[in-house]
Amino acid sequence: MAGDVPGRYVYALGVRSLNRLYDPLFRLTMPEGAFRRQLLEQARLAPGVRILDIGCGTGTLLLEAFRSQPIAVLCGIDGDSSILELASNKIARVGADVRLVAGLANDLPFRSGWFDHVFSTLMLHHLTHAEKIATLSEAYRVLRSGGELHIADWGRPHTKSMRIASVMLGSFERSDRIADNLEGWLPELCIDAGFTDVHPTRRFSTMFGTLELIAAAKPERIAA
């Protein structure tokens, strides 16, 4: 793994020193197992598929993918070398074969058309509008024809209680980054990046607001 990438970066809990608290806090405050299982189930992973998790954090989704499909080709990328070290330790304890890379989601160091599935869990809301556009365009680029994108992130509040909860979320996150999520623009941004069949698959009510799961596909290339 390389060191931290240059430039402005938003850490998982806002401050790098809190990285070690990420997993226990996430388990306490979020329906972690349920939404990650749903993401993997909707992907219908087959043996040998190539998977990229952008903003992989401590590697939890990659480990779930390994348990679901042990012979998948697994890769995770994150801009924080400290959290990648936590991920590396977790993965080593299980003995999973996972490649971890330090880098930014809006400038992926992978060749075009390589992956079958790209996942993003609770990362896009850390990005500015321009960074979201660049990240989704990069996800489109590295997916093969017919490949799939699977997102879990904050969405437009779908109930009155979730509107109230999202006020607390807005107080923790920068408005220039979270606004696209809370206004429900992620599906449109996926379409703008070239994805088709973009649709929400499930919504979870959480103490911070609506967690929305989105599926999208890169169109199949039509042979001449």
pLDDT tens digits, the chain, 224 residues: what are they? 433 444 455 544 455 545 565 555 656 666 678 889 999 999 999 999 999 999 999 999 999 999 999 999 999 999 988 899 999 999 999 999 999 999 999 999 999 999 999 999 999 999 999 999 999 999 999 999 999 999 999 999 999 998 888 887 766 667 778 999 999 999 999 999 999 999 999 999 988 889 999 999 999 986 55
Q: Which two tokens mark 62?
A: 């990659």
Structure tokens at 162: 């979730």
Strands (E), 12-49: none
Three-state SS at 150: strand
CA–CA separation, 152 and 39 (whole Å): 8
Class of domain 31-217: alpha beta
Residue 167, pLDDT score: 80
Reported pTM: 0.86
